[in-house]
Amino acid sequence: MRRGTLFAVVVLVVLSGCTVPGTPGQLDTDRELGSVAGYAADDEFAFGEEATLTEDELEAVTYRSMARLEVIRGMKFERAVDIEVITREEYREQRGEPEAASTFRNEVWRAPFVVDGETDVNDEFEALYGDAVQGYYSSDRIVLVADDSDEIRIDRGTLVHELTHALQDQHFGLEREGETIDERRAELGLIEGEANYLPYLYDERCADEWQCLPDPGTPAELEPGDRPFNLGLFLSIYAPYAEGPAFVSHLHETEGWSAVDRAFDDRPVSTSQVIHPARYPDDEPVDVDITDRSSDAWDPITDDDDGEIRTETIGEATLFGSLWTNGVVDRPLTEGGSELAPYNYTHPTTDGWAGDTLTAYEHTDEETDDNVTAHVWKLAWADAADAEAFADAYRGVLEANGADPVDAGADSDTYRIDDGGFAGAFHVFVDDERVTIVGGPDVDALEEIHATADGDASTDADADVDTDATLEAGGNASANASMAADVDLDVAASADVEVAASVDAPTATGSSLGSAVS
């Protein structure tokens, strides 16, 4: 089976310790649109045929790129943007060693079979980002990461991508309010979507209207078997970059830039809205509640601040990545893709997602004194057929990881995985449009983690929600879930930071993966 091909973008910025074009300052607000610091969108330079630039040339290219973005977007930069280049060694020192992930965080990524129980998820994120970052934007400052210090080489897609973030920050702000994995991916679908869409429009004019820096060329292929990172995490994180440009293009082409402006005030709330733009903004999330039915032996993991049970929402995009990585979605990632969105995250198994909530539990093993974790994960679907389709797909994930059936009933199934990082027991229960999954260390523990009740899922408070009435065909929702207390490694320290990595999909612009996500 062909699992698709990933691509690695060659890092094209290589200089240490320079800062251009200087200290950021206010730009003249009365100036003509498309004229920045004396440079115009249609300027042509004697240099530019070669990839290497001097500091003065980089300054000129930066201001010209800003002028061109103003023409495309119809919006002026308010302030100049600083550009700094640091070595990869300096970047690693700034990043530091990752802290161990929380018990809750590890269990969240184990449930969809993305990171196994023997692996710390923060280490997986570090492996994904640590050696592949190209640069990031923060507060009128673009930092580009170099692999050596001999000369300046610029990937124009990366430069335009980061300048777009500066323009967004100056007009809308880049603070994010999403509390769950899915909500944060959705917000970034807008933010990163525009930051990839504008370079696409920019490149269209490079063909015959504007003189541009040379294209960096075709990315080197990275075969899945050789990938130095967790593919499930990559697909989750990359979703805003893969589907966001088409989402923003849909807004722009149907209602103009004013629709994109409004979206910054009313941001998408689920990756389902980003993957299926017609669902934005009217298809609101449905709440998926989980009643705590654990025994005294198991404690739900709570928030350190308020003592509330911690919850998480995985979302459609990450579900797709999990099913694809585990071989249940059997098609190339690029099948059905487009120039704007080369990786296609739509699939009949996940298109009907309507919301999900995950809670985690822990207890101390009396014999070993080890801390043992478990989870209850409930997913809502547009209808019963979609729910059963996902349950079948999840059974496929279990089988792909060595699960054997222990018990099968009319509405539920129990499985056991004896060995490996996902070893444990899993109970899959289907009730109309709801699927409940319980995962624990062994079969006997499942009932203690989430005791069976009459009608099971139908007795929970959320069972009265009419999903079909809330969603149009295919459905869209995300759960109200409390924010994780620990700081995610893949969330930037400040709200206006976006980090680009050289591990990338074949986008039209060469713009790259960001770490301002979780």
Q: How many distinct helices (H) and strands (E) make up the chain?
A: 13, 21
Least confident of 15-29, 262-276, 494-508: 494-508
DSSP code at position 79: B
Q: How many domains does the chain have?
A: 1
Expressed in percent and rounded to 5, the helix, strand and coil fractions of the chain are: 35, 20, 45
Grade residue 127 by pLDDT with cuts at 50, 70 and 90: confident
Tell whether the model's pLDDT for residue 484 goes beyond 70. Answer: no
Residue 150 has a pLDDT of 62
Phi-psi region of 42 (alpha: psi -120 to 50; beta: other; left: phi over 0): alpha
* pLDDT computed for residue 51 by the predictor: 61
Give the 3-state secondary structure of residue 259. helix
| Confidence band for 487, pLDDT divided at 50, 70 and 90 | very low
Q: Is 241 exposed, middle or buried (0-12, 13-18, 19+ CB in 10 A)?
A: buried
Digit-coded pLDDT (tens) for 285-332: 899 999 999 999 999 999 988 999 999 999 999 999 999 999 999 999
CA 457 to chain centre: 30
CA distance 315 to 333: 18
Contact 333, 316 (CB under 8 A): no
Higher pLDDT, residue 365 or 278: 278
* Residue 137 within a domain: yes
Provide the token pair at 25: 């300052």
- Residue 326: which domain range? 35-217+230-452
Lowest mean pLDDT among 164-173, 269-278, 404-413: 404-413
What does 461-493 look like in DSSP terms, one character per residue?
Answer: GGGG--HHHH--TT-------PPPSSPPTTS-S
Give a yes or no: residue 151 inside a domain.
Answer: yes
Whole-number mean pLDDT of the chain?
82
Instruction: Determine, yes or no, domain membership for 437.
Output: yes
Please report whether residue 338 resides in a domain: yes
Please identify which residue in the block is written with the tokens 């990163």. 192
445 assigned to some structural domain: yes
With CA atoms as reference, report the closest residue to 26 among 73, 68, 71, 81.
81
Tens of pLDDT, residue by residue over 137-150, are: 999 999 988 776 56
In a domain, 85, yes or no: yes
* 65 φ, ψ (degrees, to nearest 5): -65, -40
Least confident of 323-337, 404-418, 447-461: 447-461
How is residue 344 written in tokens?
A: 């296609």
The region of weakest confidence among 149-153, 321-325, 484-488 is: 484-488
Exposure b/e, 108-133, CB count within 10 A at least 16 = b? bbbbbbbbbbebbbbbbbbbbbbbbb
Give the containing element (helix H, strand E) for 107. Answer: helix 103-110
Report yes or no on 340 lying in a domain: yes
Q: What is the pLDDT of residue 457?
A: 43
pLDDT at 24 over 90: no
Residue 42 to residue 38: CA distance in whole angstroms: 12
Q: Express each pLDDT in 426-446 by its tens digit.
A: 999 999 999 999 999 999 999
Q: Does residue 3 form part of some domain?
A: no
Query: Distance between CA 419 and CA 442 in Å, rounded?
Result: 12
